[in-house]
A and B are shown apart, each in its own frame.
Chain A
């Protein structure tokens, strides 16, 4: 009798545990991002995924300076970026749906500048800080039609929005994308 009760309690405990795990961590595959290929101690931060899951951008410490690293998933193959090497440090990367646009902050002439690299056309678009404010972070809408900038102005953090629909083509699911992802 006592053994049956113990077994019942154990079953209940297992069921409750399974339910708790299911409600808290009922998620699928969990993995580390693909290796950066820059050494085992390479630190990586500020991840940005493309909407179609093919690309991952992150910031790595390359020779003491923060650089953006763009990789294919899941292979981890590094995709070269034509325009960005000379203007480090980089921060706050963001990718559009198919990864056509890579937006980030970089330093140019002692000032922070928001840039968007169009990997399809090879163009680099610059957006200087509005009103001389310090740029701290950016976000690009998945379709590439809106940009949000976090700026520090007068000691306060503010967010400013910009409409890019007149200057960038939309990058929507199933839409136009680079036929060769290695091409800038």
Chain B
């Protein structure tokens, strides 16, 4: 048998539980994800970022720092950027990026010498391969399939936005 002093506490707990239940049901599927605080702070301290592209355990992102924009690939487990030799050029402006699930292939749309070009970067080979668009097609956004074997390109063709799919070896 409970002591008299415990009854208000038990009642308050029950009321709180009911209120929480009501609150959750009214939210109806609101996600309560956990912010990756350490990484978020690291990103904030490194300057502005845009065009995030996630692999499984990888984040590709365009970093704005000191008036310059460059592509950065971060190993989310190590919480460290990995080197991308040969990818960033001081005379090129990155516009859109995408990364495969393994963080091995990066697809980059960039502005170079007044033209938009799409390039495929293979990290293990440190190789950069241009991908030629069809005639009259100006690429405006890119997405690489998670297995890195197909890319989808948003192109402007005859004044219309279209999507082209290109298989990769």
Contact = CB atoms under 8 A, between A and B. Distances in A.
Contacts of A56: 152, 163, 165
A41 to B, nearest CB: 7
Interface size band for B:
35 or more
Q: Max chain A CB contacts within 10 Å: which of B40, B143, B167?
A: B143
Interface string A148-175: 1110000011111111101100000100
Contact of B150 (A49, A149, A156): A49
Interface in A125-184: 125-128, 130, 136-143, 145-150, 156-164, 166-167, 173
Interface in B15-73: 27-36, 39-40, 43-44, 48-57, 59, 61, 64
A160 B40 contact: yes
A64 interface: no
Nearest to A124: B29
Interface string B126-148: 00011110100000110101110
Contacts of A160: 35, 40, 43
A26 to B, nearest CB: 7
For the complex of A and B, the 4 pairs showing the least CB-CB separation, nearest first, are: A51-B146, A47-B152, A28-B167, A148-B52
